[in-house]
A and B are shown apart, each in its own frame.
Chain A
Amino acid sequence: MNMKRTARGLVAATLTAAAIAAVPAYAHHSFSIFDASQTKTFTGVVTRVNPDANHLQIFFAPMNAERTNVERGADGKPIIWAVEMAGSAASAQQGISVSEFPAGTVFTVSLHPLRSGDPAGAREGALYKCPQKAPAQAGGRIQWQPPPAGKNCDAVQGSTAIGAGFDPAQQAQQSQTARPAGGSN
C-alpha cells in the first residue's frame, strides 16, 4: 500500500535520552501474544474507542474490498476487530483520542495480529483517517468518505495521518532481508 513515510529514516536515527521520555506505557502485558512477523492492514469503521490507561483500544468493523459495506459474520452482524496501542494519555499526545475517532470514522490501520487468530492486534505505524463528506453529500450528517475499492484512506485526497510510527512495509522488508537462516557468533 502507498502509506506515507511519516517516520522515514528512523532506523538510522540516533536516539537521545530525551526521546525516551515520549515512550508510551509499554509494560502492561507481553507483546509476545502478537505475531510481529505479520502485518495486516484494514480500512474499517470505528465502533468505539476505549481510552484505557494502559492501552487505548479502537474497535472497528473492517470494510469489504469494494469499500461499500463492512464485513459481516454468518449472523449478519459486523465483524469487530480491536487494535491496541499506547496508553490513552500517550496516544492523546499523538492525536489519537475518543474525540478524534468518533463512532463512524472511516480509517486505515496496520496491526500485528494475535497469534491465537482472535480478531485483535497491536497497532503498527500511523492511522489514516478518511476525510468527511461534504455536508450536502451526507444529508447534513457527519459522514466519512470511504476510499475507492481496494484502496485505503491514505489514497484519498484530504485524508490525515495521525500518530507517530514507521512504515510497516518497510520494516517487514528489513526484517526479511536481514534475517539469516541461522548462525553463531
Chain B
Amino acid sequence: MRQVLKNTAIFAAATLLTSVAAGQQIANTGFKSVGRGWPLAADLRDYQLTGPTIPVGFANGAVVRGSWDQFVGSAHHGAAPKGVEPLPVDLFTTKDFYKDRELWKDPRYFRCNSPAGIEEAWGANTTATIGDNPPASAAWGYCDRDYPREGIVSPYPFKTAQEHYEALLAETTKRGGAHHRPTAEQLEDWTGRYAHPGNTTDAQADWTGRNKSNSPQSYWYRGRHNQIPTILSLLTPEYQQRMVQEAYHAGNTNAPQWPSQYCWPEGFMRRWHEFAVWEWHIIAAPSVVQIVTGVARNFITTIHVDREMKTDGSVPRLGQDVPRWYGETVGFWDGDTLITWTSNIQGWKVHSAFEYSNKMQTIEIYTPNRDRSGRFLGLNHEAIFYDPEALVEPIRIIRNYVKTSGFDQGDPYVFIDCVQTIFPIEGRSTPVSPGTVIEYEVPDIYGRPWAHIWEKYFEEGMEKPKGEDIFSFD
C-alpha cells in the first residue's frame, strides 16, 4: 500500500536502520533499451518502514541504541494492533511452523513484521522488540505498509540471464557500441573508492540535479519495507519453506545462524546485503574490471571483458564445472557502461532474506552517473537475478554508488581472512575463548548447515515435509 513519506525516526532518520527515504534512481541510458534502465514500478521513497523496530543510531563511531519511545510498529509487549485480529497461531506461538503453510500467506502470521523486523525481535542490530514474555510477546509491524511486489520483479521480458545478456549485446552491437571500450580518462573515472549507498544521499547520486534529499540511499533487499508474504510470493514452495524456517529461528527461537559468524562463506547475494558490503574499491582496465569490497573485506568480483561463457555444462561457466561462491563473470563495454553476466554460483543464503540455488545467475549493468556538466559522480548498479529453482520470476535490485576518491589517499584495501571465534554451542552461536574445549559437529557446508543446526536443536517434534528418498528403488 502506498504511503505518504513522513519522518518517523527521532534519531534524525539519517541512519541505515531507520532510513525511510531511498535512492531509487535509475540509470541514464540515453535511449530506450531492450533490457536496462527501465523505471521502477514503485519508488521506495514513497514507503515507510514496516517495522517493528526500535531505531538505532550512530554517532562518533559508536552505536546508539534507541529506546521504546522511538518504537516503529503497531503494537508491542503482547498487545495486538487496533483493528487487526490476530491469528490463533502465528510464528511466535506455533509449535510447528511447517504445519502452518496455509497461514504463511497472511501477514498476520508474522505479526506484520518485515524480514528485518523479525530479525530485530531479539536485538540482532538494535534494541530488542520481543517484549517481556518472549517469544509470545513479540511486537507487530504495520500491516498496511508493504513495498509492492511490482517494484521487486524484473520488468524485462527475458526468461534467462543468457537471453538477457545476448539481447543487450545484440542491441549494443546494432547501436555500434559493442566492445567499444572506454577511454583512458573514462577508466580513470571508474577507478577508485565508492561509498556504501547508505553513506551517501539521494542528492549525491542524482545525475539530474533535481533530487535535493539528504536522506541516505536505500533499496528493498534489506527487507525493511516489506511484508514477509510479499517476499515469499517471489519464491518457489521449497524456498518459501526455507525462508519461513529462517524467520522462525530469527524471531521465535533466537537461534540465528549467520554464515559469516562461523567464517563460513558470505555467499554471492551478500554482495547486495546492506551491512555485508560497505565501500567498493574498483580497479578498471579495458579487459578486466575488479571490484573488491565487503564489511570483512573478502569479496572479489572480477569481470572478464569480452570473454564468452561455456554453455555445455549444468550452468554457463567461464572456468571449470565447479560452482563458485561468487560465481564467474563475463562482460562487455558499451563505451563507459559495463554490462555483465555472472553464472556458476554456489547456492547459499543471506540472513533475513531468502536462500538461492546453484542456478542463480545475474545480469548486472554498471552505468556511470554523470551530472549535467559531464562530471563523473559514481555508478548506477542495476542487477537482475535469475534463479528458476528459487525464484518464480526474475527480480531486480538497483542502487547507486557515489565515488568518493581515487586510491591516492585513505587507508589501503586489505584483504581479510576470517578467523573463527564463534562456534555453535547447543545450536547457539557463542564466542569461545582460546583454549576452551567444546563438542563440535563438523558442518556439512554444502548441505544447508544452518538448517541442520536448527533441525537438530530446535525443531524436535515438528513434522518437516520429507524430501526426496534417494535410497528407495521401488
Contact = CB atoms under 8 A, between A and B. Distances in A.
A89 interface: yes
Given A27-B260, A30-B119, A182-B77, A116 B296 contact: no
Contacts of A94: 61
Contacts of B152: none
A71 B219 CA distance: 49
Interface string A29-50: 1111110110000000000101
Contacts of A29: 256, 258, 260-261, 422, 429
Of listed B68, B274, B431, residue having the most chain A CB within 10 A: B431
Contacts of B59: 7, 10, 13, 15, 19, 164
Interface stretch (A142-150, A153-161, A172-180): A172-180
Interface in B406-430: 411, 414, 416-419, 421-422, 425, 428-430
B216 A25 contact: no
B331 to A, nearest CB: 28
Given A20-B15, A179-B68, A31 B61 contact: no
A84 B198 CA distance: 25
Contacts of A114: 430-431
Contacts of B419: 50, 52-53
B273 to A, nearest CB: 7
Interface string B194-212: 0110111100000000000
Contacts of A54: 260, 295-296, 418
B81 interface: yes
B429 A28 contact: no
Contacts of B69: 178
Of listed A13, A20, A34, A180, residue having the most chain B CB within 10 A: A20
Given A15-B57, A17-B201, A20-B15, A57 B431 contact: yes
A165 interface: yes
A101 B96 CA distance: 49
A182 B78 CA distance: 7
B275 A26 contact: yes
Given A7-B62, A17-B14, A34 B75 contact: no
Contacts of B295: 25-28, 54, 87
B411 to A, nearest CB: 7
B139 to A, nearest CB: 10
A28 to B, nearest CB: 5
Contacts of B68: 175, 178-180
Interface stretch (B28-36, B123-131, B164-172, B184-192): B123-131
Nearest to A180: B68
Contacts of B418: 53-54
A53 B419 CA distance: 8
A104 interface: no
Of listed B60, B81, B214, B419, residue having the most chain A CB within 10 A: B60
B451 interface: no
Given A31-B123, A184-B82, A10 B64 contact: yes
A59 B433 contact: yes
A110 to B, nearest CB: 13
Nearest to B11: A15
A130 interface: no
Contacts of B428: 33, 116
B199 A20 contact: yes
A135 interface: no
B75 A53 contact: no
Contacts of B131: 182
B460 to A, nearest CB: 19
B260 A23 contact: no
Interface of B: 11-12, 14-16, 57-65, 67-69, 73-82, 119, 121-125, 127-128, 131, 137, 140, 195-196, 198-201, 214, 216, 250, 254, 256, 258, 260-261, 273-276, 295-297, 351, 411, 414, 416-419, 421-422, 425, 428-431, 433-434
Given A16-B14, A20-B196, A183-B76, 19 more contacts: A7-B59, A10-B62, A17-B199, A20-B58, A20-B198, A23-B58, A27-B274, A28-B260, A28-B296, A31-B124, A32-B250, A33-B428, A34-B123, A36-B65, A52-B421, A59-B434, A119-B433, A171-B67, A182-B79
